[in-house]
Structure 1
Amino acid sequence: MDAGERRRAEALRAPGSRRLHVLARALVRTTLSSYCDVAPERWRFAPDPGGKPRISGPCERVGLRFSLSHTGGLLALAVSQGCEVGVDVERLEPHADFEGLAEVAFAPSERDAVRAAPPAERAATFVRLWTAKEAFLKAQGVGLGTVDPRAIAFDADASPLRLARGACAGPWSFHALRPTGAHIATLAVPTASVALQVAWATLGRRVTPPSGSRLAPGLSGRTPWRRAS
């Protein structure tokens, strides 16, 4: 980690949060090093105007983009080359008030889809739509604090998910993943076909990093490849 990352880690009082922060930084650095002959500790980052971290050196010209998400100890990292990418992962909480949450965060058609889902599928229906919204915003470098999530409407009956007609221009693609039986993740890319690397990590499982990358001490989890098209 660089000095700024170490300061942020030291400012986290909860040991679990601190370990997760360190793991996230290690996951990003070792995964990026599978693309370039750059040692993980040499990567440098800077925020773009919307606050999304970008590679600022030493290999920024190769067009790598990445997005990071975490929930309940699980980390998700997506890396693309030549286009933006957003990823969001959430844990399924079957007893949450999904209808109430949908009222404040979803467009009318999405709220109807959550209400119409069988009780056993309501959590997955909500989380599938929610992660798509988050991933879409992350790919654009903006956060929920600046956009009303109700203004982003998805066709809830489509598989894979797609933006409702008129919601946004461009061939946005959304790819649903199930990293565990208790989590749903969604990838968002502004193109119909792109090569993506998706990495998962938890505090309790060992990771096998991509070919060519070096394992950082304490890194754990599992790293598969996925091609979205």
Structure 2
Amino acid sequence: MKTQTDEASIYLLSLHTLTDSVLVNFLPWLSESEVQRYQRFIRPERQRQFLAGRILLRQALARLLDMSATELELIEQAGNAPRLVRPELSDAGFSLSHSGPWVACAVSASTKLGLDIEMLNPERDFSALALQAFNADENAWLAQQDAGNRLHDFYQLWTTKEAQIKLNQKSMQCVHLPHPELSITLCSSRRLTSAPQLLQISLSAK
């Protein structure tokens, strides 16, 4: 019997590398429901994040599934992640996240995923945010951590909670990945057989 291999990859994209003139070339890739959502965003930054995220997701899935990115159709679901219109690929999992100029997506051929990224910002009053966002046990744990590393611990706890909410399953594995500018946490419904790959790529029109 062949052993099940559960793996995941995380793709990162910096919007600093993309001009609006390049991004709009990808609008025809979006489904009608995605275009409608794209047009509802008022802030240009959110439009850029949304469009870049959907194209990044298509290219990540295309690499994973050995398909053309333009073959993949995604349908908007109010309050939820988009749905991949490929019933035969129902085991595939993916999740999107963005923070500032960074857009990320995680993909897997065999397990559902929840991904969250947050830019590390030492100027935020993370102690006050922790009191609002975390429960008593979590705040007690945070207070016990080394003061010099508490910023990273705060963001790791924050991204873990957000990734768990996105996955929305009782049983899961969560891993935190190092990055100089970001806190990155990926949760999976199945235990991964190897650490997730962290890949930084550029968008391609192919």
| TM-score (norm. length: structure 1) | 0.66
Following superposition, the deviation at residue 114 of structure 1 comes to: 2.1
Following superposition, the deviation at residue 17 of structure 1 comes to: 2.4
Name 1:227's counterpart in structure 2: none
What SS does the aligned partner of 1:69 have? Answer: strand
What SS does the aligned partner of 2:166 have? Answer: helix
Name 2:129's counterpart in structure 1: 101
Q: Partner letter of residue 66 of structure 1?
A: F
Name 2:167's counterpart in structure 1: 139
Q: For residues 29-61 of structure 1, what are the alpha-carbon distances to aligned partners after superposition, in whole Å with 9 as ceiling and x for unaligned? A: 11111133432122122466972322122x643
* Residue 71 of structure 2 corresponds to residue 72 of structure 1: no
* Residue 168 of structure 2 corresponds to residue 191 of structure 1: no
Following superposition, the deviation at residue 194 of structure 1 comes to: 4.2
> Residue 92 of structure 1 contacts residue 127 of structure 1 at CA under 8 Å; is this kept in 2?
yes
Q: Partner letter of residue 184 of structure 1?
A: S
What SS does the aligned partner of 2:64 have? Answer: coil
Following superposition, the deviation at residue 94 of structure 1 comes to: 1.1
Name 1:216's counterpart in structure 2: 205
Name 1:222's counterpart in structure 2: none
Alignment of 1:31-110 (within 5 A): 31-46=60-75, 51-57=80-86, 60-61=88-89, 63-110=91-138
Name 1:182's counterpart in structure 2: 181
Q: Take 1:30 and 1:110, find their aligned partners in 2: how far apart are those partners?
A: 37
What SS does the aligned partner of 1:96 have? Answer: coil
Following superposition, the deviation at residue 67 of structure 1 comes to: 0.3
Name 2:25's counterpart in structure 1: none
Q: Partner letter of residue 123 of structure 1?
A: L
> Residue 79 of structure 1 contacts residue 197 of structure 1 at CA under 8 Å; is this kept in 2?
no
Structure 2 stretches lacking a partner, 5+ long: 1-29
Name 1:226's counterpart in structure 2: none
What SS does the aligned partner of 1:78 have? Answer: strand
Q: Take 2:92 and 2:178, find their aligned partners in 1: how far apart are those partners?
A: 24
Q: For residues 185-208 of structure 1, what are the alpha-carbon distances to aligned partners after superposition, in whole Å with 9 as ceiling and x for unaligned? A: 0010122224655555xxxxxx25
Which segment is superposed worse, 10-19 or 125-134? 10-19
Q: Partner letter of residue 53 of structure 1?
A: P
| TM-score (norm. length: structure 2) | 0.73
Runs of 4+ in 1 over 6 A off after TM superposition: none
* Residue 178 of structure 2 corresponds to residue 173 of structure 1: no
Structure 1 stretches lacking a partner, 5+ long: 142-167, 201-206, 210-214, 218-229
Q: CA RMSD in A?
A: 2.6
What SS does the aligned partner of 2:63 have? Answer: coil
Distance 1:87 1:17, change over 3 A: same
Q: Partner letter of residue 133 of structure 1?
A: K
* Residue 141 of structure 2 corresponds to residue 113 of structure 1: yes
Name 1:152's counterpart in structure 2: none
Distance 1:22 1:81, change over 3 A: same
Q: Partner letter of residue 187 of structure 1?
A: L
* Residue 48 of structure 2 corresponds to residue 19 of structure 1: yes
Q: Take 1:10 and 1:127, find their aligned partners in 2: how far apart are those partners?
A: 31
Greater relative CO, 1 or 2 (CA 8 Å, sep 6+): 2
- Structure with the bigger percentage of helix: 2
What SS does the aligned partner of 1:52 have? Answer: strand
> Residue 65 of structure 1 contacts residue 80 of structure 1 at CA under 8 Å; is this kept in 2?
yes
